[in-house]
Structure 1
């Protein structure tokens, strides 16, 4: 999808040399998700600029942005339309306190988002990102049940492989062991179910039987714990950071029916899948056939140009609160930057871009993207390539007999990433998995380039492992 952009205005006055930036980071910057052995002394790959689907590192090397930042740069880098809106809005109104004032862009954006949401989801609460969006939804569930006199209906059901954020409650839902090995969680509030990963299902089980097992597990959990104790079921339509897990067909709608029958709030976490990643503004209904009680979103809402997230809440839930016997009960939750005028203005401009061409383009190239990614399955190290829309995962399996990631598998992703980086592609390695979720503006020719580099990176990794004598396939 072609897009005309002016040449870069050059580095800002706050830019320093790559060497200086690395030195400053090692002396002063704490990186996200650091290891204790290097915390506060680490420098990561320096990115200096971006344009379209490409970024340039501190040495001037051009790389395809395979993960689109963190699933978020949906409209691509250096969109002058978005940068200009940020400037114009900041010059008009840079901030207002959401505690006792409001701004026009947030009201307009809430109406635009509500127009895309399924069912009766018509009310939007804005946050600063995905973690705070999920946190807000969980706190809303607690408030909702307190107001309705159901103070014990607070348990939250999540799943293995899930990722819902880094704040206390949202992180407590995460289903990846490494997310909680050294971090405290609200364990007494959260119940974890089996990951809906068909690739890791029991060997003799069909996909249909696996789906039945997952649904039965949920039903048995509700019966065992009691529907009067369970406040919410939280699920990503696609488990993104868990490895782009595409659950069995009809599994999620069946879970939704059970939630409805037992008055359990269904929270659809569309932080990744929303705003175009699957070719739709929201995928819950249009792709997966379900209408949740709450949808959380972030990332692609501004294409990563400004921190913004939120939740969309159904009319029914708010009507229940208004009918309660506690009209003075307060949802005592909010953020300094809730409904930020600059972020909401950028999101509106981003919606214009999505609605006026990018969504159509994403839907057009997505089948080709998945088809080309699937060609990597002929490599001996690749166990499965899976995906939908413009998100896919290459899961590497060095030990096929046990079908279990071992120490060798743990290093595979880093090796592939290093090779691909040298070849011109930024990969997001998740232990033994490589995730690709490029900007939605990617063309077929650029998909060809991306897949070719990824193939070469995996091939070089296989050669390394054979040469070291640790893998003989």
Structure 2
């Protein structure tokens, strides 16, 4: 039975990534409250949210001290003009804290309202920097197929997910170039991981030669690809691509909107997990654990020195009304304090290893082709045929079949065509890991049964063992 709220939502709110036909038919799953990793719908049904909101509820929801911090800041000062030479205390304190946590000489912070605007800012900063240093021809951007960087104009243009590049929208096409997706499961011609890594690095070298290093401004990359399939690149790939950028005077922009603030057990994954020192890091999501909208573009003192000297009348003509919003920054400071106090990074390392191990048991299911990811950033890839890795037709939307049945079992996982993605709160326990794996496994088995019944799936006969 639909409620007035459900009807109002269906009638008036156009959601991000609305699929018009199915939304018109089914509407939304209306949530009313949340605590920790659990959410409740309007009928009072409880779900374990293994998606962590949208990669973001790192410390879990319903924290009283977060509510108190936000309320206290609202009472003290709900807003402050961030433009030119006016500031506020929480924004200044958070900038200092982020500089302490970020690797190397990344000591400068530019605030925005989320991940997309953080990436958009990085894009503009890159061009601003190259112009300021007298290299106006360095405008081209390298990125990767399968990479996701946001939904603003520049960020979506840098994004390499083909499913998000719909024909009704326009994109920057003349100066953004996408290299192959570094997905070992889909490596061509039976390459092993090392051969695949060599292939990808050589492809990047060829693209640099083709465009000319003097014309390339930056390389944008997620350390682990997120909504493009939770793809951990081949061993050594991130480091070797970063070294290529260093050798060719190309800025390396690490998009850590998902991976930062504990998702894989570190404040930032670039240096700690992959041994690379970015020039720019973009972050959001776990920065406030979703309690307030906030993004940040972090960059080096070296970049700041270039853009802040020279022309006496130069200024950075970009920013947002809500840059450095005092309430959002106060929430971020408290969020970071909680992560530190509760040692959640170490928890992710330990429980994340168990999560990886338990999810691997799903490989025995006929529909599961691959289980991949790192710690609290995991994905199951569903296939029609294991041996050939053949996918279901996109129209089947196998991931949605599975997520629908998971929801019936009180589990939320994210469907992305043939994938089911998980990014639970960093507070997830071993018992909750077991719950997620058991309910997801049951949903996959139920989907297999339902697909066969609908005539959409016929299991491939397994070879007999003599």
Q: TM-score range by the shorter chain?
A: over 0.9
Q: Aligned match of 2:114 in 120, 123, 129?
A: 129
Query: Which residue among 338, 348, 351 is the counterpart of 2:323?
Result: 338
Aligned-pair distance for 1:399?
Answer: 3.4
Aligned to 1:285, the other structure's residue is in SS state helix
Within the candidate set 53, 77, 84, 2:37 is matched to: 53
Aligned to 1:25: 9
Aligned to 1:13: none
User: In the alignment, is the contact (CA less than 8 A) between 2:392 and 2:398 conserved in 1?
Assistant: no
* TM-score, reference length from structure 1: 0.94
Pairing 1:131-280 to 2, within 5 Å after superposition? 131-182=116-167, 183-280=169-266
SS in 2 for 1:89: helix
Which residue among 299, 321, 333 is the counterpart of 2:285?
299
Match of 1:413 in 2: 399
Give the SS at the match of 1:286. Answer: helix
Q: Deviations along 1:348-380, whole A, 9 cap, x unmatched?
A: 000011111222222221100110111111101
Number of aligned residue pairs: 456
Tell me how large the CA RMSD over aligned residues is.
1.6
> In structure 2, do the counterparts of structure 1 residues 83 and 371 end up closer, same or farther at CA, with 3 Å as the change threshold?
same
After TM superposition, the structure 1 stretch with the greater mean CA deviation from structure 2, 326-335 or 184-193, is 326-335
Which deviations, in whole Å up to 9, do the C-alpha atoms of 1:159-212 show, x marking residues without a partner? 010100000000001111121122210111200000000001114211101000
User: C-alpha distance in 2, partners of 1:126/1:89?
Assistant: 18
Distance 1:361 1:222 in 2: 41
User: How far does the alpha carbon of each residue in 1:258-293 deviate from its partner, in whole angstroms, 9 at most, with x for none?
Assistant: 111111110000000001101111111001110100
CA shift, 1:26, in A, is 2.0
| Cα distance, 1:326–1:295 mapped onto 2, change above 3 Å | same
Distance of 1:257 and 1:251 partners within structure 2: 10
Within 5 Å, which residues of 2 pair with 1:459-470? 459-470=445-456
Residue 39 of structure 1 and its aligned partner are, at CA, apart by 7.4
For residues 134 and 246 of structure 1, what CA distance do their matches in structure 2 show? 21
Q: Secondary structure at the match of 2:272?
A: coil
The reply on whether 1:115 has 2:100 as its aligned counterpart is yes
CA distance in 2, matches of 1:456, 1:270: 32
SS in 2 for 1:191: strand
Answer yes or no: is the 8 Å Cα contact 2:308–2:314 preserved in 1.
no
Residue of structure 2 in register with 1:6 after alignment: none
The question of whether the paired residues in 2 share the 8 Å contact of 1:53 and 1:439 is answered with yes
Aligned to 2:437: 451
